[in-house]
Amino acid sequence: MAEALRKPFGGHFLYVLRENPVTVLAFAMLCVILFAAAFGPMLAPYDPLASNAMNALRPPSAAHWFGTDHLGRDVFSRVLVATRLDLAISVAAVALSFVVGSTLGSLAGFYGGWVDAVIGRITDTIMAFPLFVLAMGIVAVLGNSVENIVYATAVVNLPFYIRVARAEVSVRRTAGYVEAARLAGNSEARVLALTIFPNILPPMMVQISLNLGWAILNAAGLSFIGLGVRPPTPEWGIMVAEGATYIISGEWWLALFPGAALMLAVFCFNLLGDGLRDLIDPRKRT
């Protein structure tokens, strides 16, 4: 039975890849990012925290592919190791905001009334602030630890999931298949969780992929202004901030390579949305 269920999904996955070359590129980039996150610390040719004043500010070479920074640390090793931390912050923050936001949005769209009004006002309150400024305020109050960065990023992402889930559930709560589920004797909670919610996942997948890229940018931005991960921890935002002061003196590689890694990660997640939607959407599996 399990084999029978796996085969259709595998065929559908290959079909999606054949029909959309951009999705192939996105998944290939995602595999590279996941590989770097999983095995980066083992593959790094140098200790990312080890300084060597004799090798400070060396340009890219065969010994140091991305050059060295002002403390003589290997930039390639630091960029490689930083992938795990940045990806972990992004995935944790988006997962938290997806679970909480989709739950609140689904309840608001399904029950309406005072439930919708209360959740709607909470959403409006969060969106009344510039989101990055709100994240800065949360981290400044709670402290700039990795956990607090995750919480701050999750909070500012909540309105996106609440609004998408509310809109999708509101449209589907009176659909024919939903009424059929009610007539079959299912409770309201079961109808919402098992009948409606799986059908709102395709647009949510697009939102998740976009928010993954935005969460990485948010974490890097907080680190860039000194409210994120603390040095000397390898992190793309910190590396860009440290390298920015050396651009004017000609050490371009310090900011270029971590900035390029950040750009490619965001680009990958932005491209990934359509492919994830096609994979999850049951209407596409025909």
27 has a pLDDT exceeding 60: yes
Comparing 12-26, 60-74, 194-208, 243-257, the range with the smallest average pLDDT is 12-26
Amino acid at 231: P
Residue 23 lies in a domain: no
pLDDT digits (tens, 9 = 90+) for 118-177: 999 999 999 998 888 999 999 989 888 889 999 999 999 999 999 999 999 998 888 888
In total, how many domains does the chain have?
1
Predicted TM-score of the model (pTM): 0.85
pLDDT digits (tens, 9 = 90+) for 46-104: 999 888 888 888 999 998 999 999 889 999 999 999 999 999 999 999 999 999 999 99
Residue 266 lies in a domain: yes
Q: CB-based contacts of 276: which residues, under 8 Å, 6+ apart?
A: 205, 206, 208, 209
Residue 55 lies in a domain: no
Cα–Cα distance, 229 to 242 (Å, whole number):
13
281 has a pLDDT exceeding 80: no
**CB of 242 closer than 8 Å to CB of 230:** no
Using a pLDDT cut of 70, give the percent of the chain over it.
90
Domain limits for position 169: 32-45+70-284
Residue 25 lies in a domain: no
CATH of the domain at 207: 1.10.3720.10
Residue 60 lies in a domain: no
Tokens 């002002």 sit on residue: 70
Q: What are the angstrom distances between the C-alpha of 181 and each of 168, 177, 192, 196?
A: 18, 6, 10, 10
SS3 string, 188-217, reads HHHHHHHHHHHHHHHHHHHHHHHHHHHHHH
Residue 170 lies in a domain: yes
Residue 53 lies in a domain: no
Residue 24 lies in a domain: no
